[in-house]
Amino acid sequence: MVQQLNNLNPRQIVVPTDDKVVVKQLRHIHQPAKYFGEGPAERRERLARKLVDLTPEERAKIVDSTVDNESNAIEYDNVDEAFYYEGSEVLKRARYKLADFSIQQANYRLDMARIKQLEPATTRLISQQDLIERIRLIDDPETYVDEDTSTTELKTLTSCNFNSDATLMATSCRSGGCKIWSIPDMETHLILKGHRQSANHITFSPKSSTLSPTVANLASCAIDGSVALWNLVDEAPVIMLSEPQSWRVSRVRYHPCGDFLASCCSDKSWRLWDLESQNEILHQEGHSSDVFDIAFHPDGSLAGSAGLDSYARVWDLRTGRAIEFIEGHSGGLRTISFSPNGYHLATAGLDNSVKIWNLRQRKCEYTIPAHLNAVTTVIFEKENGRHLASASFDKTVKFWSTQTWAPIKTLDAYEDKVACIDISADSRYVISCYSKYLKLWTSPSGLTDDQDDDMGLGNSNPVNLKQEVER
């Protein structure tokens, strides 16, 4: 019987044509009534795929419970309402932990914002102008080649990422290998071997500068669905969070607290992993196509997912609710980023534009006609969010002012599509990768805003900031 069920084709399953009955059957087998962007035809196909896994007796019971008569037919007028499952006890504890962390981070961010408001407007304007001038002084940097004599396969880099103190940088490659580089000399620190197929993305933990080199400091994912954790000593993974699966994993992102990891999957969902127990604690659906990227709010309270269905969604990690549905792009989304100010969100993708969303006003604040081809990365400057950087398949990297969203600088000294860029946490360096080449650059005076150091805020803590505001 098991063998017969496994060989059954979904097309052989008789599915009702009445969408209301389809909805009732989906709810009967504990499935969401409707996904965003999903039409009646897609809903019938999803029901057929689910019914394949059931026995004939179970399918008969479902049909009996949804007979097409007036007494038993369901009038389901609220199909667009979200459907929530009861979570596990582990997820509940994780949500409490995320809430505690986000409250502390929000207090710190708001205290910083209050102190900034004490500055004269002319001081803030001069600081912004100085930053713009430093960006404009960026020169074309030296180009580094990712060479590995152990293989003759043509390498194509897929991502690059700095650690928290910008002393190391990691890259992933379509050959499946990953590499850690030292900054700023760009010498190979360690070659990581563990993925069998193309490594799509690699990222450092936000706590990497304080962790022991022998524990997991960074994570990577591959096209075969595997997710690996690495230390800074061994070339083999410390642990495989996920072995090869039937879906692809396009991005992995650490939560700001460093205790959780999100992975974006081609099965129209994203997953949240507890790194302490090394278990998947959340499997979040909600898109009608591949989830390509995810970003976390600087406070750690929210997550934003970007899908190839051209939509983005904002999730409250403390409650599990989808609090914002973002639509406006005409093509699939490849990248999403929160601003350090806490209320701006940038999305970009296959329609060549970058859209800036104001989460307070729940609307698109500005659309930047940024590039001539798909945008691969959009990222805010990580300290104050005073500029935005974008990279594209049109072989350029561009910087934009977040005050007016006007262009500041365009770097077009590239010979191929720019796959990824990253800005160091202190904004001293910017790295980009394309083909098998890396470029590390900065301006002669660096890209940092020294105004904070002049005010003595570099090592402040939330308590001291609150006392300063009260004074």
pLDDT surpasses 90 at 70: no
pTM exceeding 0.85: no
Interval 102-109 mean pLDDT? 94
- Residue 156 has φ and ψ, to the nearest 5°, of -135, 115
- The per-residue pLDDT for range 220-264, each reduced to its tens digit, is 999 999 999 999 999 999 999 999 999 999 999 999 999 999 999
* pLDDT value, residue 83: 63
Q: Measure Cα distances from 420 to 170, 211, 329, 376, 432 in Å.
A: 12, 26, 21, 6, 6
- Contact (CB, 8 A) for 416 and 395: yes
* pLDDT value, residue 435: 86
Burial pattern 427-441, b for ≥16 Cβ within 10 A else e, equals: bbbbbbbbbbbbbbb
- The per-residue pLDDT for range 237-248, each reduced to its tens digit, is 999 999 999 999
- Residue 199 has φ and ψ, to the nearest 5°, of -85, 115
Residue where the block lists tokens 């999403």:
336
Q: What element of type H or E holds 109?
A: helix 89-118
User: What is the CATH architecture assignment of 89-454?
Assistant: 7 Propeller (2.130)
- Residue 452 has φ and ψ, to the nearest 5°, of -60, -40
The residues near 69 (Cβ < 8 Å, ≥ 6 apart) are: none
- Contact (CB, 8 A) for 289 and 325: no
- The per-residue pLDDT for range 407-460, each reduced to its tens digit, is 999 987 678 899 999 999 888 888 999 888 888 887 655 555 443 433 232 333
Q: Where are the domains of the chain?
A: 2-65, 89-454
- Residue 180 has φ and ψ, to the nearest 5°, of -110, 130
DSSP string computed for 331-387: S-EEEEEE-TTSSEEEEEETTS-EEEEETTTTEEEEEE---SS-EEEEEE-TTT--E
Sheet holding 157-162, edge to edge: 157-162, 168-173, 178-182, 188-192
* pLDDT value, residue 10: 67
* pLDDT value, residue 239: 94
pLDDT surpasses 80 at 465: no
- Residue 123 has φ and ψ, to the nearest 5°, of -65, -45
* pLDDT value, residue 16: 81
